[in-house]
Amino acid sequence: MKVTEIKQYRVNDPTGRGGYYVIKINTDGGISGLGEVGIKGWGNAIQNAIDHLGEIVIGSDPWETERLWQIMFRGGFFPADTVYSCAISAIDIALWDIKAKSIDKPVYKLLGGPVRDKVISYPHNGGKTIADLVDNCKMRWDEGWKFARWHQPPSHGTLAEPGVLEPRDSIKIAVQAMEAVRTALPDINICFDVHTRIDTTLTIQMCHELEQFKPFFIEDPIRSENAGSYRKIAEKIDLPIAAGEQWGSKWDFREVIENEWIDYARIDLCIAGGLTEALKITHWAETHFIDIVPHNPLGPVSAAACVALCMASTNVGVQEMPRQPGTFAQALFPSQIQWDEGYSWAPDVPGLGVELDEEVAEANRTTDATRWTPRLLRSDGAYTNW
Per residue in 88-135, pLDDT (tens digit) is 999 999 999 999 999 999 999 999 999 999 999 999 999 999 999 999
Residue 386 scores a pLDDT above 90: no
CA angle 254, 257, 260 (to 5 degrees): 140
pTM of the predicted structure, to 2 decimals: 0.97
Query: How much is the average pLDDT of 168-190?
Result: 98
Backbone angles phi, psi at 137, to 5 degrees: -65, -40
pLDDT band with cut points at 50, 70 and 90 for residue 374 = confident
> pLDDT of 318-335, one tens digit each?
999 999 999 999 999 999
DSSP state of 271: T
pLDDT band with cut points at 50, 70 and 90 for residue 151 = very high
Query: How much is the average pLDDT of 132-146?
Result: 98
- The residues, ordered by sequence, that sit 6+ positions from 146 with a Cβ below 8 Å of its Cβ are 120, 122, 188, 189, 342
Query: How much is the average pLDDT of 339-345?
Result: 98
Residue 17 scores a pLDDT above 80: no
Q: What domains can you pick out in the chain, each with its CATH number? A: 3-106 (3.30.390.10), 109-349 (3.20.20.120)
- The residues, ordered by sequence, that sit 6+ positions from 239 with a Cβ below 8 Å of its Cβ are 207, 210, 211, 215, 217, 218
Please classify residue 205 by burial: count the beta carbons closer than 10 Å to its beta carbon, then call 0-12 exposed, 13-18 middle and 19+ buried: middle
Stretch (H or E) spanning 219: strand 217-219
Residue 305 scores a pLDDT above 90: yes
Query: How much is the average pLDDT of 189-193?
Result: 98
Catalytic residue set: 195, 295
Share of the chain above pLDDT 70, in %: 100
Query: 218: which strand partners?
Result: 192, 241
